[in-house]
A = this chain, B = another copy of it.
């Protein structure tokens, strides 16, 4: 009595009906709110079937607008599943009645009856939760078979082996899932015995007798284990199966999956009961998969495969080779269904507003769509073609195209050369793959291996194609990197020097290939046992991280060619047009300013062509590595101790500083340019040889011994945390005075020619306000002097780089003094996590594997680091609503990070030149999902 009352109470609190029907002309579930609400109540499977069943299309056979043909069925809601558990794991009485009612409706629509010995209705009982948990919960197929109906199925299909195979499979699943007679412990041994006796690999190779025999053995095992015979009452089977699928919500693996993926444990499964259709009942039956567009090229041509008289898994498992889908049109018994399928595909695309991957079965010439989903695995090029075509075809808006493009990283593929995919596959098969490292800069390159940057430069000048292979690179290798087509390193991660520079230059890079041992003394490279001498040809893919022996054909990027002013073939021209079109749409919606990092004139030209709206980070110290005289003077600057020594070095460097700034201003034509004051890692500039020491001594007019002593004293244990950035200027304000003076003198020169300028002078590595004020004072003084001297007003701003936790903490104290700041996200990540980006190789893979970090924090914004970005943003914005806040560094090209920066409210993002399109598209996607409040 008490129990009945509770049931009633539970029912009252449940507002919706317990079961929803789909199929034929009866689709009930579409009355439930929006797509998300439906998923919540009907689970993934149930809501998918419901939505498919609700789609109408013009049937080419009748010319009528009619529902898409899906196997009819009904879904028991997740609410009922919860009631089941609340009810002490019993199906509520009302639900049992409702199931009977809906089962009857299903039988009416299909014209078949569960348990009918002549033509039995078979159903699948399927799980499906609101959140996708693939393979975590159970599904039972072919329910409705027993000793008598199996013979009916045999007669009806004319294929007794097929019928018994179905029965065998059903028995296996039902025993395991619904009766607790585990396959692993109780059924598999029986199966193995029969297979071994027959020398067969699996049940598909067994004859009819064996299938029958094995089925009986299973039934016997069930009797032994449970004390009861295998249920022959098909209504009992149905109820038990429904209960079992409910139960699978709390299977060990489902609970574990939810815990790992932080899904609440209240997320239980709905149950869909779906009529079975078979592609195996003769020559008018078939099964197949088709893609509405080509996933490799994106062309609007249906591709796919089908098999006559086969089940779906035969196609997927490749047991039998499929036929190209287009051939189906001319097969007499299948032609009509093919025409229906073609029409259905269009309807599906228009309904889901995206290319689809469709599973279908034809039973007795009649088409059933079993499942559809957004086309996966598309290449960057395919994605571009699909979304732009769909806009042209008129059923996607440009905004939708931006969102539907998917992963913005796909754009990078379009900009870089690639290996011919077939040749690449062949090389793998031929055993030419000799090492795999971290893919650090997309693209492909083939050339002679060289282990010295100097050598690489010389050979490249002589026309050789070079792959530079180094233990790791340092800024001294910049010229070598420029000369090479790609770079391979033994050490370092995605933000190691080699990786950053290569991405900036748009060259292929494979880094951290630990099996590569570069023996510079002996001039040899050892890769996984093989010894390679310089001059031998290797090929590297910065997209996959693979290293191959020998050469490999490279397919250039037509877009890159067009950008360089070269011609492309018709296909290339079209791709270029579409690339520009998509980027244009993205630009309209990106919400934040996209700027570029730059280290050279070429960089900046590329970035502007790709749509950069200014310079977000000019690393001025990177201009100082070469040529030799420049480097010598810069080293002298770092070793200077007296005012005279500083002045000498600065005097020599000043023309270079002016020239560098002027180049930027001229190219930008009034766009903002954040120019960072020198932030060298001193270790990288100290003399490496006696010759260099002597050169510096000559420049400084000091004794060799004195320069040697100063260099030793300047070498740092942890250069990342050393005497850098702002610290240089506090010790020697003349540096910042000269550099700010040089930048603003260049600005004045442009202004006088009528070229607009917006210089933003940035102080790196700051920790507190007192430091910032001291350095800004020097900048303002230099600005004042320059404007006096040049007789022109220069609209400049002063800002900082926020890259220490200290600066984050104090952001409210200095925001009011500044026009802008940017995050130095790499350095902030290094300090917040206390992880040197150059030293992650040994432990980061383990951290990713154990889920301690979701991703390498130098590849994608770490959530803890994000809280620091947020802290500084909130503090600074409150203190100064007008301050311009943006992110720079390497994560500006990572879609996840760009979205995070956008969503926090940042005003802009700066990315490497070749990453500007990714950054733009990522920002637009984020902004369309979650529009930025502040314009």
Q: Which residues of A contact B (CB under 8 A)?
A: 471, 490-491, 514, 517, 709, 712-714, 716-723, 727-728, 730-731, 765, 767-768, 770-771, 774, 803-806, 809-810, 827, 830-836, 838-839, 841-843, 846-847, 850-853, 864-865, 867-868
Contact sample, A vs B, 6 pairs, CB 8 Å cutoff: A517-B709, A717-B720, A722-B839, A768-B864, A809-B867, A827-B834
The residues of B that contact A490 with a CB separation of less than 8 Å are: 713
Contact in complex: B712, A471 (CB < 8 Å)? yes
Residue in B730, B810, B846 whose CB lies within 8 Å of A846: B730
Contact in complex: B843, A727 (CB < 8 Å)? yes
Bound CA–CA A847/B768 (angstroms)? 11
Contact in complex: B852, A717 (CB < 8 Å)? no
Question: A695 to chain B: closest CB distance in Å?
Answer: 21
The residues of B that contact A830 with a CB separation of less than 8 Å are: 718, 721
The residues of B that contact A827 with a CB separation of less than 8 Å are: 834
The residues of B that contact A768 with a CB separation of less than 8 Å are: 852-853, 864
Contact in complex: A832, B806 (CB < 8 Å)? yes
Given A721-B830, A832-B831, A835-B721, decide whether A842 and B714 contact each other with a Cβ distance below 8 A.
yes
Contact in complex: B718, A809 (CB < 8 Å)? no
Contact in complex: B834, A803 (CB < 8 Å)? yes
Bound CA–CA A771/B851 (angstroms)? 9
Bound CA–CA A835/B767 (angstroms)? 10
Closest to A725 in B: B834
Residue in B770, B805, B833 whose CB lies within 8 Å of A767: B833
The residues of B that contact A835 with a CB separation of less than 8 Å are: 721, 767
The residues of B that contact A728 with a CB separation of less than 8 Å are: 843
Residue in B718, B847, B853 whose CB lies within 8 Å of A721: B718
Bound CA–CA A717/B830 (angstroms)? 13
Contact in complex: B846, A834 (CB < 8 Å)? no
The residues of B that contact A713 with a CB separation of less than 8 Å are: 490-491, 514, 841-842
Bound CA–CA A919/B717 (angstroms)? 30
Contact in complex: B770, A850 (CB < 8 Å)? yes
Question: A712 to chain B: closest CB distance in Å?
Answer: 7
Closest to A847 in B: B730
**Pairs A-B, 6 closest by C-beta atoms:** A721-B836, A718-B836, A717-B838, A804-B834, A805-B805, A722-B839
The residues of B that contact A836 with a CB separation of less than 8 Å are: 716-718, 720-722
Closest to A716 in B: B839
Closest to A731 in B: B846
Question: A281 to chain B: closest CB distance in Å?
Answer: 52
Contact in complex: A852, B774 (CB < 8 Å)? yes
The residues of B that contact A714 with a CB separation of less than 8 Å are: 842
What is the total number of copies of this protein in its complex? Answer: 2
Interface centre among A471, A728, A846 (most CB of B within 10 A): A846
Contact in complex: A721, B843 (CB < 8 Å)? no
The residues of B that contact A852 with a CB separation of less than 8 Å are: 730, 767-768, 770-771, 774
Given A717-B719, A847-B730, decide whether A864 and B834 contact each other with a Cβ distance below 8 A.
no
Question: A882 to chain B: closest CB distance in Å?
Answer: 25
The residues of B that contact A727 with a CB separation of less than 8 Å are: 842-843, 847
Question: A804 to chain B: closest CB distance in Å?
Answer: 4
Residue in B709, B718, B832, B851 whose CB lies within 8 Å of A805: B832
Question: A727 to chain B: closest CB distance in Å?
Answer: 4
Closest to A720 in B: B718
Closest to A849 in B: B730
Bound CA–CA A723/B804 (angstroms)? 21
Contact in complex: A834, B721 (CB < 8 Å)? yes
Closest to A804 in B: B834
Bound CA–CA A838/B720 (angstroms)? 12
Bound CA–CA A428/B24 (angstroms)? 106
Residue in B718, B771, B867 whose CB lies within 8 Å of A718: B718
Bound CA–CA A770/B864 (angstroms)? 13
The residues of B that contact A868 with a CB separation of less than 8 Å are: 805, 809
| Additional A-B contact list (15), CB under 8 Å, known A718-B836, A721-B721, A805-B833 | A716-B839, A718-B830, A720-B720, A721-B834, A727-B843, A730-B852, A731-B842, A767-B835, A771-B852, A774-B850, A805-B831, A806-B832, A806-B834, A809-B864, A809-B867
The residues of B that contact A491 with a CB separation of less than 8 Å are: 713
Bound CA–CA A827/B491 (angstroms)? 26
Given A718-B836, A834-B831, decide whether A864 and B723 contact each other with a Cβ distance below 8 A.
no
Question: A691 to chain B: closest CB distance in Å?
Answer: 19
Bound CA–CA A767/B712 (angstroms)? 34
Contact in complex: A731, B843 (CB < 8 Å)? yes
Contact in complex: A839, B718 (CB < 8 Å)? yes
Bound CA–CA A490/B709 (angstroms)? 11
Bound CA–CA A830/B517 (angstroms)? 33
Contact in complex: A806, B839 (CB < 8 Å)? no
Closest to A862 in B: B806
Question: A713 to chain B: closest CB distance in Å?
Answer: 7
Bound CA–CA A722/B517 (angstroms)? 21
Bound CA–CA A828/B584 (angstroms)? 46
Question: A472 to chain B: closest CB distance in Å?
Answer: 9
Question: A103 to chain B: closest CB distance in Å?
Answer: 46
The residues of B that contact A767 with a CB separation of less than 8 Å are: 833-835, 852, 864
The residues of B that contact A853 with a CB separation of less than 8 Å are: 768
The residues of B that contact A765 with a CB separation of less than 8 Å are: 834
The residues of B that contact A838 with a CB separation of less than 8 Å are: 716-718
Question: A168 to chain B: closest CB distance in Å?
Answer: 42
Bound CA–CA A465/B731 (angstroms)? 39
Bound CA–CA A853/B853 (angstroms)? 35
Question: A40 to chain B: closest CB distance in Å?
Answer: 28
Residue in B716, B809, B834, B843 whose CB lies within 8 Å of A730: B843
The residues of B that contact A805 with a CB separation of less than 8 Å are: 805, 831-834, 868
The residues of B that contact A730 with a CB separation of less than 8 Å are: 843, 846-847, 850, 852
Bound CA–CA A574/B839 (angstroms)? 56
Interface centre among A768, A827, A841 (most CB of B within 10 A): A768
